[in-house]
Amino acid sequence: MTHIFEDIRSDAIKLADLWVEIAPEFIVSRFWDRFTGNYISLLAVDSASVNASGAPTMPKSGPTTTSSVKAAVVKSHLHLHKTKLELLSGLAVFLEAGLSEEKQDRFWFLLNFLEGRHARDTFKRHVDEALSDKDAKTKRWEPKPRGIYAPNHSMLTATVPYLSAISEASSWSSLSLFDSTAPKSQAPATTDPGKGADHSSYRNECSLDDRIKDVKMLIETFQPVLLSTWLETAPSVFSSSNTISLTPALQLLTVVMRLALVLWRAMVSGGSISFMERSWLDGHLQQLLKHFAAYFPYGADSFGNRAAKVDSMLQEMNIMLCELTSLYLLARALQRNVVSKDAVMNGNGKRQREQSSDAGENDRRVPSWAERIVDHVLGILGYQEQDIQHINKKQRSEEAMTSMSSDFKSENLVSLLPAIWGFLNCLEGDRQISMFKAFIGYYHHCHAHSASKRISLDFLIRLYLIQSSPSFNGQFHLKSQLEYVDLMQAWLLSLPKTLWQLKASHIDTSRSILNVMCDIAKRDEKDIFDIKTLKTAELSMVPFFYVNLANKGPLYGPFLQLPSDVQKRALEFIFYVNSGSVKVQDAVAKCKEVELMEFIFKTDESLDPEVKSWIS
């Protein structure tokens, strides 16, 4: 990667990307210092070459025309953009592999608000139990067992299908009984990687916690590169009169934002940002965000009139800036909490506490550039708030890139969820309420069979479940506002209708809905849902079982078409609420008259005995 020839360096970066893709954990744990040092050196060489190149060279003979100068400039910039794009893309892939702990979990951002690894694992198990098939006889496969021996037999995959992962079993051997005999250096590197340290100072193995500790140094090292690259490239992309097209310059801006997002995600989720000086946060993140926000929202003037790939890239950039803004506001909130706790523990006088309180009030005000981004997120969710005065009507119409249009897809919603969750935990007062209202409204607007509906439902279920975790340290609490309770009760009452609309087309979604409804019903009135709401939800389940319509006659709901485990969860919800409604009992009795259901009720041993006796 540090070869003197540029072509060899380029091939080495591509090879490094392949290694990170094939064996990410091995590469980032064993070669973290070496890779980061090489990338720092490469960026330093790249910056030096750009400064040395200066203006494009022109032929010494012949007249120099304006067109020839422009052509030379464009050619020079194109080469520089491609070179830096390749370098920063490789760096972004490597850092994301090394600093992201839960890459496979779509809702990884929720885990950052639980204290400790044990609390995170407990919450993941709780969610798995709440949303999965209760009767599944499967075990969780541990990818890195220690001291476990499994026979290297060709039939292992066939005989233990639930415990083996395709061809993983064939790689087992007695060699896994022992760790590597190579020496492990636990001493930290004596110097920063990439700054003249010899190979002996590199750590032989670098854990995730060790890598997180390096984030501050990485931010301070890469910040000038990211900022200068943005300032050099953004005007040529967004300030030109031509339509934005798929160029290396646009791709370079996307990679710059992604790299900044990877670094600041690790910085905020790691917790070290709470103890940083406010000036350090403003000097690094806020300064960068102000330059990013100068052209925001990117390409909103002509969405849908360009190539689909360009629109997708611009949409991605808008969403990344929204998440970066939420990280900045969240970091400020974390720093305020640390300052207030220190003031209480140190026993400061009343006057000092009042002064710090006044300073905190000023600090809680969201900057104007960030307000515009918050309003953009509300607009994406289709929220119409009459009292938003931050942007005029003309600007709002120009920035309209709402979720109701075809430009906002389900994968965009997945990318936006970390920003929404971040804003819920850092905004205060009416702005926080507006954000939650916007998301609930978006959920109700989505079609029952759409992917966005399922994603929104999964997010709301986890948002509700995480509230009951004793290790939850977020600022968003459903019990803190009566409006939140009303919105969640309305959400619960809408679930029976969603079940009826889904019928038997999305079994996993129906299973998730009934599982969380049972979880809510078992808590009775000890939670945010009162008994009146639970009884109303139970009564709304009647069409799901059976209903006798005046104009159509008897009509069975989707209950009979669902698998037995989903049917059992529906019956358990009725049992847990147990309002004694005659309509509900008659609907269940009509389903019981069906010959198939009678067989299930009598033979299914996994059905709760109390539920079985209640049905019979």
Q: Answer whether residue 161 is part of any domain.
A: no
Rounded CA separation 345/159 (Å) = 60
Tell me: pLDDT of 216 over 60.
yes
Reading the block at residue 570, the tokens are 């529906």
Pair (370, 498) in one structural domain: no
Return mean pLDDT, the chain. 77
Q: Answer whether residue 63 is part of any domain.
A: no
Pair (519, 436) in one structural domain: no
Tell me: pLDDT of 437 over 90.
yes
Q: Answer whether residue 235 is part of any domain.
A: yes
**Mean pLDDT (whole number) for 226-252:** 87
Pair (301, 400) in one structural domain: yes
In 3-state terms, what secondary structure has residue 523?
coil
Tell me: pLDDT of 207 over 90.
no
Lowest mean pLDDT among 18-27, 86-95, 316-325: 18-27
Cβ atoms of 193 and 202 closer than 8 Å: yes
Pair (236, 348) in one structural domain: yes
**What pLDDT is stored for residue 609 in this prediction?**
60
Q: Name the residue among 271, 254, 264 with its Cα closest to residue 220.
A: 264
Structural domains in the chain (count): 3
Q: Answer whether residue 354 is part of any domain.
A: yes
Neighbours of 71 (CB within 10 A): 12
Pair (432, 558) in one structural domain: no
Rounded CA separation 357/110 (Å) = 29
**Mean pLDDT (whole number) for 533-558:** 89
Q: How many helices (H) and strands (E) in the chain?
A: 27, 2
Pair (489, 603) in one structural domain: yes
Over the stretch 447-465, which tens digit does the pLDDT of each residue have? 999 999 999 999 999 999 9
Largest Cα–Cα distance in the chain? 100
Pair (282, 428) in one structural domain: yes
Over the stretch 94-122, which tens digit does the pLDDT of each residue have? 999 988 876 667 888 888 888 878 888 88
In the listed set 382, 413, 445, which residue is the last one of a domain according to the structure? Answer: 445
Instruction: Output b/e per residue, 576-600; b: 16+ Cβ within 10 A.
Output: bbeeebeebeebbebbbeeeebeee
Over the stretch 503-538, which tens digit does the pLDDT of each residue have? 888 899 999 999 999 999 988 777 899 999 999 999
Cβ atoms of 24 and 182 closer than 8 Å: no
| Residue 611 pLDDT class (50, 70, 90 cuts) | low
**What pLDDT is stored for residue 534 in this prediction?**
93
Q: Name the residue among 32, 2, 27, 25 with its Cα closest to residue 202.
A: 32
**What pLDDT is stored for residue 16 in this prediction?**
84
**What pLDDT is stored for residue 388 in this prediction?**
42
Q: Answer whether residue 186 is part of any domain.
A: no
Pair (482, 388) in one structural domain: no
**Mean pLDDT (whole number) for 574-588:** 89
Q: Answer whether residue 388 is part of any domain.
A: yes
Reading the block at residue 201, the tokens are 């100072």
547's enclosing H/E stretch is strand 546-549
Q: Which of 64-78, 146-160, 313-327, 404-418 has the highest mean pLDDT?
A: 313-327
Pair (354, 394) in one structural domain: yes
Over the stretch 252-266, which tens digit does the pLDDT of each residue have? 999 999 999 999 999
Tell me: pLDDT of 367 over 80.
yes
In the listed set 410, 445, 480, which residue is the last one of a domain according to the structure? Answer: 445
Where helices occur in 179-244 by DSSP H, the ranges are 208-213, 215-238
Q: Answer whether residue 137 is part of any domain.
A: no
Q: Which of 1-10, 119-128, 192-201, 438-447 has the highest mean pLDDT?
A: 438-447
Crossing angle of helices 308-345 and 410-426, in 10° steps, is: 20
Pair (399, 520) in one structural domain: no
Reading the block at residue 409, the tokens are 């897809």
Reading the block at residue 271, the tokens are 């917790």
Query: What whole-number percentage of the chain has pLDDT above 90?
Result: 34
Scan for tokens 């005007």, then name that residue.
235
Paired strand residues for 548: 554
**What pLDDT is stored for residue 197 in this prediction?**
43
Q: Answer whether residue 189 is part of any domain.
A: no
Pair (298, 432) in one structural domain: yes
- Domain that residue 43 falls in: 1-50+75-99
**pTM of the shown model:** 0.80
Which letter does DSSP use for residue 550 in this model? T
Pair (321, 365) in one structural domain: yes
**Mean pLDDT (whole number) for 376-404:** 57
In the listed set 99, 115, 133, which residue is the last one of a domain according to the structure? Answer: 99
Lowest mean pLDDT among 137-151, 360-374, 391-405: 391-405
Neighbours of 280 (CB within 10 A): 13
